[in-house]
Each structure stands twice: as C-alpha cells, then as structure tokens.
C-alpha cells in the first residue's frame, strides 16, 4: 500500500512538472508585471493569474497547516483550503470580461457538443481544470458528496452558475452548455483521482 502511494505521488509530481514545463514561457512573460505589483497585465490575464496562483501555493499550504494546529482535523483543513484556493482563481479566469463587455448582448449556446471542436485541446483541458479542485477536495470535506454522481451534479450546478453570471453581467463571453458539460466532467474526474481518500471503508461482515 505504501509503495502504491509513492507511485501515485510520483506520477502526480511528474504530471505537474510536465505541465509547468509546457507553459513555462507563457508564465515567464507575465512574471515582470506581476512581481512589480501591477494589476493590469497580471491579474487581468490568464498567464498572470496562473502564475500568481502557483507562487501562492506555499502560503496556502502554510494556511492549511496553521488551521490544523488551531482546530485539528488535518484532512478537513487541507480540503477546505484546497477547495477555496484551487477554485477561486479558476472562477476568476472565467469571469474576466472580453473587449465588448457591457456593450454586446449576452450570448448562449444550448446545443450540446457543438462548441467542443472550437475549444481545441488547450481549451478542453482548461475547462476540465476549472472545477477540478472542488471535485478533488469537496468529497474529502463533506460526507454528503462522497459519490461520483454527486460530484458530477455539484460540478454541473456550479458551472451553470458561472455561465449564468457570464450572461447576466454581459461579459462578452458565450454561455455554453458544453462548458457546463466539460466543467462537470472535470470535477468528477478529479473526484475520482481523490477517491481513495474519501471513499467509505467497507463495513466488515461478522461471521455467523
């Protein structure tokens, strides 16, 4: 069991390292503006938000540790911090206004699977990650969410709220049913990845 955990941790680290290597140039482009403390060019760009989220991860880990010392329940505290820290920046990215925000009317796309081809690989991957932290950590924190269908429903509900907000606030974005489908699928896949930490242990049956 211990060897399996090390394998899983190693694969996760390799995957994270590979992802960072793939986007290293984009992140480096935002570094001067972000580290100079400028809002424009950092927190209003995808690269800047991702960069600052990565930079702040040690602080999030410290916050989880401090909450554990104060209140106990290490896994619950980690899940609480992970849900918030991993989800808020992603939602911020989805709510960034386009150039025609406040001018062009809201647009909707309600036919499933029509917009997937236009997303491209990077767009689909990004939509899978939007609610990934929520799907990963929520079932570790809330017993009511310890099933994949419930995680899928949670992801769909949260994504629907995001798409509705984009339409209501006229952010010059297309509110698409495909975004809801991919966001919800991503939440479920991340929930599947954390399943070993939240799945209830089987109750042993006493022998007659």
Q: What is the pLDDT along the chain (208 residues), one digit of tens a residue?
A: 445 555 555 665 666 666 666 667 777 788 889 888 888 888 888 889 988 998 898 999 999 889 888 888 788 899 999 999 999 999 999 999 988 888 888 899 999 999 988 888 889 999 999 999 999 999 999 999 999 999 999 999 999 999 999 999 999 999 999 999 999 999 999 999 999 888 876 655 555 5
Phi then psi for residue 174, to 5 deg, are: -90, 120
- The CB-side HSE value for 190 (13 A sphere, CA atoms) comes to 28
CA angle (146, 148, 154) in 5-degree steps: 85
Distance of CA 70 to the CA centre of its chain: 27
The structure's pTM equals 0.83
Q: Are 128 and 182 in contact (CB under 8 A)?
A: yes
Q: Are 134 and 183 in contact (CB under 8 A)?
A: no
SS3 174: strand
């Amino acid at each position: 069991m211990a060897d399996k955990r090390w394998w899983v941790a190693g694969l996760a680290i390799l995957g994270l390292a590979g992802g960072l290597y793939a986007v290293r140039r984009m992140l480096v482009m935002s570094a001067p503006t972000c580290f100079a403390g400028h809002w424009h060019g950092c927190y209003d760009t995808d690269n800047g938000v991702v960069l600052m989220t990565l930079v702040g991860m040690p602080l999030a880990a410290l916050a989880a540790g401090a909450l554990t010392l104060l209140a106990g329940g290490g896994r619950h505290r980690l899940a609480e911090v992970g849900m918030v820290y991993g989800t808020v920046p992603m939602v911020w990215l989805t709510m960034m206004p386009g150039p025609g925000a406040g001018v062009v009317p809201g647009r909707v796309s309600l036919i499933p699977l029509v917009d997937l081809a236009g997303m491209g690989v990077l767009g689909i991957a990004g939509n899978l990650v939007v609610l990934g932290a929520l799907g990963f950590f929520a079932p570790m924190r809330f017993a009511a969410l310890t099933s994949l269908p419930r995680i899928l429903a949670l992801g769909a509900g949260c994504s629907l709220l995001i798409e509705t907000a984009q339409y209501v606030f006229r952010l010059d974005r297309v509110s698409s049913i495909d975004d809801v489908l991919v966001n919800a699928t991503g939440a479920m896949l991340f929930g599947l990845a954390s399943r070993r930490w939240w799945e209830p242990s089987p109750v042993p049956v006493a022998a007659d």
